[in-house]
Amino acid sequence: MECEIRILADGVAIAKRAAQEFVQAAAAAVQERSAFNVALAGGSTPKALYSLLVSDPLLRSQVPWDKIHLFFGDERHVPPDHPDSNFRMATEAMISRAPLKADQVSRIKGEYPDAERAAREYEEVLQSRFQLKRNELPRFDLLLAGMGNEGHTLSLFPGTKALHADGRIVVRNWVGKLYADRITLTAPAACNAARILFMVTGADKAPALKSVLEGPYEPEQLPAQLLQPKEGKLLWLVDTAAGGMLSRGIRE
């Protein structure tokens, strides 16, 4: 696995750099298979990336919109029009403004009263889309991720059952501290991606980021440590505030 840490000025700089990575990953995937499969993330920094991809004329022209299929790494247990919905955020920032057809987007149905049903159905969607055989995992060309100030990523929270969901691609995860269900890709499914791109901003993330990247391997406490692609590239884009405690990383 190739791991790179880049420390940039702020969220705007991260969005610009992430957009370059997005375009490069798309070009490589389309050249190889004429398709580009991306798992989107929620959060403010990914939102800036999505907006940039559709609003910047040069970037917009470089994205192979007709070859893209968009997926989601996780979702809140809410309807698609809810303010907390990752799908709603991505739709408002990019999907509704891009030349995409409805069948190019696969969302997690967080509106189901039973979050387990949403997880099972999304797992079936991925199995069908990626034509998976039994026990196979999807291989996203690019998986976008963020990190919480306690070291969670996707909806893999410290000490939760999803950290031990062997054999599953998507699971329901009860997060007690939020008193809420989440639907999330499992770590093995995420780690099968060809590229994982973390975007992390804010001084409140600095201690957890230091622990994830430079501390002992304690994924029960710091689930972000689980996201290490088996055969692929791992890139961390962090701002100077989040990366303030790091002793490694390339400062741009």
In this predicted model, what pLDDT tens digit does every residue of 114-158 receive, in sequence order? 999 999 999 999 999 999 999 999 999 999 999 999 999 999 999
Taking the CA of residue 41 as centre, how many other CA atoms within 13 Å lie in the half-sphere pointing to its CB?
26
Q: What pLDDT does residue 252 have?
A: 85
Q: What pLDDT does residue 210 have?
A: 98
Q: What pLDDT does residue 2 have?
A: 84
Domain 2-251 in this protein, CATH class: alpha beta
Average pLDDT over residues 54-65: 98
Whole-number average pLDDT of the chain = 97
Residues sharing a CB contact under 8 Å with residue 138, sequence separation 6 or more, in sequence order? 37, 126, 127, 129, 130, 132, 169, 189, 192
Average pLDDT over residues 49-70: 98
Q: What pLDDT does residue 166 have?
A: 82
User: Does 1 have pLDDT greater than 80?
Assistant: no
Domain spans of the chain? 2-251
Average pLDDT over residues 163-168: 93
Q: What pLDDT does residue 154 have?
A: 98
In this predicted model, what pLDDT tens digit does every residue of 205-252 receive, in sequence order? 999 999 999 999 999 999 999 999 989 999 999 999 999 999 999 998
Q: Which helix (H) or strand (E) holds 174?
A: strand 170-175
CA distance 238 to 39: 19
Q: 180 has which bridge partners? A: 175
High-pLDDT (> 70) share of the chain, %? 100
Q: What pLDDT does residue 86 have?
A: 98
Q: Judging by beta carbons within 10 Å of its beta carbon (0-12, 13-18, 19+), is residue 166 exposed, middle or buried?
A: exposed
Among the ranges given (163-167, 171-175, 195-199, 201-205), the one the predictor scored with the smallest mean pLDDT: 163-167
